[in-house]
Amino acid sequence: KEVMAATVLTSLSTSPLILNSAVYFVHPEPASKTWKEVLSTSYSSSTSGNWSWDASDQSVPSTPSPPLSKDSTHFMFEDPIPRKRKKNFKNTGTVGVCYGGGQINIHFLHTYSDYSDGEEDFYYSEIEVNMDSLTEGLSSLTPTSPTTAGPPPIFPPPLSDVSRSEYVGVNGSQSHTSSLLSQSLDDVFVHVLTLSHLLFPRKPRGEAKKCRKVYGMEKRDMWCTACRWKKACQRFTD
DNA sequence: ATTGCCGGGCT
DNA sequence: AGCCCGGCAAT
């Protein structure tokens, strides 16, 4: 089983579908850790850009998640990739996949950081889905039926000032998930990817109206100093 | 093509 | 410190 997951990861990393997404494998964390901690460690270890594989056992983190069996493992892939930009992981969606004991649980984490008060505050909201609701939600909006253009039926990305967790759907039918496990983990990951794009759409960057756009090149002397020095605008912060 | 701005240079 | 710009990510 671990071998299969490894091959899935490999094929994922070469798949054109996710060329712009980073695929991270996170070592199974001790049960004491929360998803928040797992996330931060994955960030700090993601700078190298390569991912590692460890098939050791261990249980699964997360306080608000349902019990998962031992020897489960979870991957996380991030969307979008932080690219070259150093700091802000603003509004990145992270997807964690836990599987083990014939069960697949997927955590969608909407994470964002807040630098407004000096120190970085790390917020996240967690959403959890099982395979049944995942495939259901996807099938209802895949372009197979041209009439449906409905919004994601599962959930909107919550954005609150307090970290909170939302819990959508629980442990699915054991037989179904196990057949999925033994058959095509690839489909699972493709679904997860698609859903992650739906949940965490690309932020259109342009809608900010900085000094340059507001005053124009002619009235450069009206810009804020930061804009004149080509630094991050301080008058119009997003 | 344009825009926001990081990194680094110069005074 | 203040000031400026090359270059690049993102669009």
Nearest protein residue to nucleotide B3, judged by CA and C1' positions: A206
The reply to whether A22 has its C-beta less than 7 Å from any atom of strand B is no
Task: Tell whether A139 and A221 lie within a shared domain.
Answer: no
Measured CA A209 to C1' C11 distance, in angstroms: 14
Q: Strand B: which residues 79-108 of A lie within 7 A (CB)?
A: 85-86
Measured CA A190 to C1' B6 distance, in angstroms: 35
Task: Provide the 8-state DSSP code for A102.
Answer: T
Q: Give the Cβ contact number of residue A4 at 10 Å.
A: 13
Return the pLDDT at A192: 55
The list of chain A residues with pLDDT below 50 reads 1-95, 99-104, 107-129, 131, 134, 137-186, 198-203
The reply to whether A228 has its C-beta less than 7 Å from any atom of strand B is no
Task: Tell whether A214 and A192 lie within a shared domain.
Answer: no
DSSP 3-state assignment of A49? coil
Nucleotide nearest to A81 (CA to C1'): C9
Q: How far is CA A111 from CA A4, A38, A118, A209, in A?
A: 29, 12, 18, 25
Identify the residue whose tokens are 């700091």: A87
Chain B positions with any atom < 7 A from a protein CB:
3-8
Task: Tell whether A199 and A216 lie within a shared domain.
Answer: no
Return the pLDDT at A230: 95
The reply to whether A205 has its C-beta less than 7 Å from any atom of strand C is yes
For the record, the structure tokens of A208 come out as: 């900010």
The number of domains in chain A is 2
Task: Tell whether A222 and A126 lie within a shared domain.
Answer: no
Give residue A235's domain range.
208-238
Query: Closest Cα to residue A211, out of A231, A189, A187?
Result: A231
Chain C positions with any atom < 7 A from a protein CB:
3-11
The reply to whether A223 has its C-beta less than 7 Å from any atom of strand B is no
Write out pLDDT tens, residues A36-48: 443 333 333 332 2
Contact A110, A158 (CB under 8 A): yes
The reply to whether A231 has its C-beta less than 7 Å from any atom of strand B is yes
Task: Tell whether A11 and A68 lie within a shared domain.
Answer: yes
Task: Tell whether A144 and A223 lie within a shared domain.
Answer: no
Task: Tell whether A155 and A83 lie within a shared domain.
Answer: yes
For the record, the structure tokens of A67 come out as: 């019990």
Write out pLDDT tens, residues A169-182: 222 222 233 333 33
The reply to whether A86 has its C-beta less than 7 Å from any atom of strand C is no
Query: What are the residues whose beta carbons fall under 8 Å from the beta carbon of A74, sequence distance 6 or more?
Result: A26, A28, A60, A96, A97, A98, A99, A107
Contact A144, A231 (CB under 8 A): no
How far apart (Å, rounded) are the C-alpha atoms in residues A153 and A158? 14
Task: Tell whether A104 and A187 lie within a shared domain.
Answer: yes
Measured CA A213 to C1' B1 distance, in angstroms: 16
Task: Tell whether A135 and A221 lie within a shared domain.
Answer: no
Write out pLDDT tens, residues A5-52: 444 444 433 333 332 233 333 333 333 334 344 333 333 333 222 222
How far apart (Å, rounded) are the C-alpha atoms in residues A62 and A130? 15
Task: Tell whether A121 and A160 lie within a shared domain.
Answer: yes
Task: Tell whether A136 and A176 lie within a shared domain.
Answer: yes
Q: At what angle do helices A131-139 and A174-183 cross, to 10 degrees?
A: 70
Task: Tell whether A174 and A236 lie within a shared domain.
Answer: no
